[in-house]
Amino acid sequence: MRTLPFRLGRFTLFDHVASGGMADIYLARVKTELGGSRLLVIKEMLPQRAAEERWSEMLIDEAKLAAQLSHANIARVEELGQHEGSLYIAMEYVEGLDLRELLKQCSQRKIPLPMEYRLFVLREVLRALDYAHRFRLEDAIGIIHRDVTPSNVLLSFDGEVKLCDFGIATAVSLDLAPSDTIEGKAGYMSPEHARGDLVDERADLFAVGILLWELLSGRRLYKATTTVPLIDVARAAEIPELKKLNLPDEPTLRAIVDKALAPDIDDRYASAGVMLDDLLEYCISTKQMASALRFGEWLSMHFAKEKLARRRSRERALTALELGPPLVIEARPSNAGPSPASEPPVSEPPVSEPPASEPPASEPPASEPPASEPPAITRSADGGGKIAFVAFAMTFALLTLLAWLKVIRW
């Protein structure tokens, strides 16, 4: 992890957000051409991964794929860059929190998440997947995300829901073969994905089914044991029955969950659009609809204060560092020594001989300066006299202005 703040190309990293198996995630600020600034998220490859060609290719592929996607429910990728041998992606910053953090905060603070907002989030994720699955590339017929997890679902305080991190996404080409490696989080894998088989868009829909199951039940679906690792649990795909939820038209909602989580790929929803239609129809018929505006207001009311306070405090600290230490103006005595006019009287009167043509009695007392000699203005070598002059001029101007205002008033 970088020591912050850190300059990465034209971006200034000032807050570490998260770490993953491939990259560190930072919050960064970049200056615009007209002197303004804006926030972005920087995904920088871990140093231990940068030396491996496979990981570098994965980050580059992510940037190339995601940069072509333009949808309200997909986090925008703005730039792929390299700084001193370190690869990074600059992405859209979503002011809010991810679904994993939201569920954690709700659990810790005993804040119930309304059902209409749970279903709203799932509908927005399905909109993002429907777009990605139907997106046409030159040699492909769609993009499979393969890592639909709570941490990759971003929720903004404006009520937006955005799917991010296409790090292991793949384009669906006609000659696609099974992968030699299993990539993704086992807790949200379809059984065919966990086995390393060929996957299509229905693997993403199985992951959405897991999200829906967990949002309805309030607990994790897959759980490893001391004898069975999580990847084996995902391969088995044994889905426990949901407890009674006391929701309107509950059988219809259970049917949606069961179809999304069907172990046999042919028994699942054929597309994200079909699943979205079923979920939308259920929400409308049971009056479980929610808008982005209402969802954003709810998020802001419960979570914005602490989240924004941290981000703004760190951004202020970055601004202070960029400006440097405060300038202190101080009038110091001259190194050349005091001028004759500013010397204090000596304790002993100087011994001086009077001119022979004048009697000694005509001398003025040595301890008293001549009355006609005006006090001199001391000008130090470091500009103290200039500061005194400016202060005098400002005071004079202020007094003149006050006198003028007084005259106008009378």
Annotated catalytic residues are 147
Per-residue CA distances from 98 to 65, 161, 162, 249 (Å)? 22, 9, 9, 29
**CA–CA gap between residue 298 and residue 330 (Å, rounded):** 52
Q: How far apart are the first and last CA of the chain?
A: 69
Work out the angle at residue 141's Cα, subtended by the Cα atoms of residues 207 and 191, and round it to the nearest 5 degrees.
25
Token pair, residue 169, equals: 């996404």
**Tokens at residue 147, please?**
């890592």
Strand, coil or helix: 345: coil
Three-state DSSP at 351 gives coil
Q: What angle do CA 378, 379, 380 make, to 5 degrees?
A: 110
3-state SS assignment for residue 176: coil
Phi, psi of 238 (to 5 degrees): -90, 110
The CA–CA distances, whole Å, from 265 to 16, 23, 162, 180 equal 39, 32, 26, 21
Q: How far apart are CA 118 and CA 211, in angstroms?
A: 10
Distance CA 407, CA 410 (A): 5
Q: At what angle do helices 115-134 and 201-217 cross, to 10 degrees?
A: 170
**For the range 283-290, what are the long-range contacts, defined as Cβ-Cβ under 8 Å and sequence gap of 24 or more?**
283/116, 283/119, 283/123, 285/249, 285/252, 286/247, 286/248, 286/249, 287/248, 288/115, 288/116, 288/119, 288/248, 289/116, 289/120, 290/114, 290/116, 290/117, 290/119, 290/120
Contacts 24+ apart (CB under 8 A), 308-312: 308/95, 308/157, 310/15, 311/15, 311/27, 311/95
The number of angstroms, rounded, from the C-alpha of 160 to the middle of its chain's C-alpha atoms is 15
CA atoms within 13 A on the CB side of 120: 20
